[in-house]
Structure 1
Amino acid sequence: MVDLAAYAGLFAAAFIAATLLPMQSEAVLVAMILSDHYSLAALVLTASIGNTLGAAVNWLLGRYIETFREKRWFPVGPQKLEKAQNWYRRYGRWSLLFSWLPIGGDALTVVAGVLKEPFWIFLALVFIGKAARYAVLAAATLGIVG
């Protein structure tokens, strides 16, 4: 019998971890793999989809946040935003393959929205990067690599 609540919990952890909110989805995934009660492929796919959709929230924030740039409460100063945009322009959309990185990965997904990266290209590249990360983590957990 499939425990949908457990998969939903993994999805939620992965989704939240990809937004600007702090969360660790890796620990949830590893614990579920080690429990040996779940399909490995389903776990990796669930975490990858959740994390990608969480990054899509960042893309949407980036896409529409510019309208608030002049507000006092805007979270990023003009210099920092310009620096991030220049970095993304320099390295391009392929940098989204590294959106899984714990430092800077979330910012990449926001800047992709600010710079109006086409959504379907964004989703594809982010999914590839995040799925590869979860697959390597799963393999390392099982002792296949590392």
Structure 2
Amino acid sequence: MIELWGLFIASFAAATLLPGGSEVILVGLYLKGNEPAVSLWLVATLGNTLGAVVTVWMGRVVARSRPPKPKHAWQLRWHLRLQKHGSPILLMSWLPLVGDGLCLLAGWLRLNWRGVLLFITLGKALRYLLVLLLATPWG
């Protein structure tokens, strides 16, 4: 049980603006074999999703003092992409560095919470599923 809490904390921290790599912990626990793969997958997905939600919330807090009016070309590009694609672009929220920025921008642009939560969760769940599948010994 303590291992699952450790995985949760690592997954949560990895999804915030803090650095971290929860995949290594996930694979280590999976190969150790003390916990069912489904439990590891669910805990990692939940922790990482909640961490991303914190980043979205931070974006909403920033939007209060700095409304979404891009001043730089890169800000305008991401602003237009998020407005064009909306919440589905958050399927990429699992990407290192880019994902944190997408979550922050989603909050800053005040995207719909349901869509944000759905696509962040789906992206995180698929990533951890792929990590577990790649770690599975096939032979």
1:119 to partner: Cα distance: 1.5
1:48 to partner: Cα distance: 0.1
Q: State the match for 1:119 in structure 2.
A: 113
Unaligned runs of 5+ in 1: 71-76
Provide, for residues 33-79 of structure 1, a one-character-per-residue CA deviation record: whole Å limited to 9, x for no partner.
Answer: 11011110000000000000000001100111023439xxxxxx842
Q: How many residues align?
A: 135
Runs of 4+ in 1 over 6 A off after TM superposition: none
Cα distance in 1 for partners of 2:64, 2:113 equals 19
Identity fraction in percent: 36
Q: State the match for 1:74 in structure 2.
A: none
TM-score by length of 1: 0.85
Of 98, 103, 109, which aligns to 1:109? 103
Residue identity opposite 2:113 in structure 1: F
Q: State the match for 2:125 in structure 1.
A: 131
Unaligned runs of 5+ in 2: none
1:82 to partner: Cα distance: 3.7
RMSD: 1.7
Q: State the match for 2:48 in structure 1.
A: 51
Cα distance in 2 for partners of 1:68, 1:82 equals 18
Cα distance in 1 for partners of 2:18, 2:4 equals 20
